[in-house]
């Protein structure tokens, strides 16, 4: 344990090296020292470093010590950063099988779901690169349209220019939406064993429904120490902020 703390202190002194510390955590995990691995991974997260691999490994470590709610939390964070990873989806499904609540899910509109899938195809930076590149190409086609003497080339440049411009605008939109998706903290995981949702942000509010640790919720509103949450079947209620951790 002293070696772990020394390694982290040295990294802070001579420059933070997250990749090296992730490998340290991975080595501890491979040796079955799951709590020590969790300690290293959490220190990396606390430093501000994030990656899908880090959250995935942290989720695995929490699962190994049977802290299912925090395993789900970190799998969800990993999925948020890399929504197409099959291993993340698989382990998240296994962890979700352990939670008490089996809540019906209201299906999303097809168009909304389709747009979300398109936006999540690649990172915000990649979408931005596509947008800038296609806009430059649009400008080139626009110049060809203005100065070409041949009617056929002018028509081709015109219609291709419109298509490329639409791609540029769509890519810019996707970049902004992907960035918003990563930074928006409106979803959370219940970490308390049992939580009673209230009709108002107060202890004397009417009891509405009960949810258990590991359940994923959407944060709708916030007042003082209370969050209004919505569960996947559409029910809403107020719970204490201490009962959840944001994804």
pLDDT at 12: 46
- Residue 25: which H helix or E strand, with range? helix 18-30
pLDDT at 181: 87
Give dist(CA 78, CA 52) in Å, integer.
Answer: 4
Class of domain 2-96: mainly alpha
pLDDT tens track for 161-186: 999 999 999 999 999 999 988 888 89
Whether 2-96 and 187-246 share one fold: the answer is no
The pTM (predicted TM-score) of the whole model is 0.81
CATH for 187-246 is 2.30.30.40
Span 119-147, mean pLDDT? 94
Give dist(CA 150, CA 73) in Å, integer.
Answer: 60
- For residue 6, the tally of other CB atoms under 10 A from its CB is 10
Q: In what order do the strands lie in the sheet with 187-190?
A: 207-212, 194-198, 236-240, 226-230, 216-223, 187-190, 244-246
User: Is 139 in a helix, a strand, or coil?
Assistant: helix
User: Which phi and psi (to 5°) does residue 215 adopt?
Assistant: -75, 135
31 burial (CB, 10 Å; 0-12 / 13-18 / 19+) is: exposed
pLDDT at 198: 97
Domain boundaries, the chain: 2-96, 110-183, 187-246
pLDDT tens track for 48-85: 999 999 999 999 999 999 999 999 999 999 999 999 99
User: Which phi and psi (to 5°) does residue 222 adopt?
Assistant: -145, 130
- Nearest by Cα to 178 from 246, 135, 116: 116
DSSP 8-class letter at 206: P
pLDDT at 16: 57
Span 99-115, mean pLDDT? 79
User: Which phi and psi (to 5°) does residue 188 adopt?
Assistant: -155, 165
Q: Is the pLDDT of residue 6 over 50?
A: no
Confidence of residue 11 (pLDDT cuts 50, 70, 90): very low
């Amino acid at each position: 344990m002293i070696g772990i703390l020394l390694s982290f202190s040295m990294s802070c002194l001579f420059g933070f090296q997250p990749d090296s510390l992730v490998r340290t955590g991975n080595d501890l995990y491979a040796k079955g020292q799951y709590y020590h691995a969790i300690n290293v991974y959490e220190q990396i997260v606390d430093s501000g470093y994030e990656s899908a691999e880090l959250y995935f490994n942290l989720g695995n470590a929490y699962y190994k010590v049977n802290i299912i709610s925090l395993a789900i939390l970190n799998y969800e964070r990993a999925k948020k950063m890399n929504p197409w990873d099959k291993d993340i989806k698989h382990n998240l499904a296994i962890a979700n099988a352990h939670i008490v609540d089996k809540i019906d899910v209201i299906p999303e509109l097809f168009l909304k779901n389709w747009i979300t899938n398109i936006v999540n195809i690649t990172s915000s930076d990649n979408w931005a690169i596509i947008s800038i590149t296609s806009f430059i190409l649009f400008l080139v086609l626009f110049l060809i349209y203005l100065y070409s003497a041949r009617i056929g080339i002018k028509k081709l440049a015109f219609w291709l220019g419109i298509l490329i411009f639409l791609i540029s605008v769509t890519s810019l939109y996707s970049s902004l939406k992907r960035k918003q998706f990563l930074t928006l903290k409106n979803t959370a995981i219940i970490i308390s064993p049992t939580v009673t949702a209230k009709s108002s942000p107060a202890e004397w509010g009417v009891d509405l429904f009960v949810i258990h640790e590991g359940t994923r919720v959407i944060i709708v509103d916030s007042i003082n120490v209370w969050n209004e949450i919505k569960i996947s079947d559409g029910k809403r209620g107020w719970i204490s902020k201490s009962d959840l951790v944001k994804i």
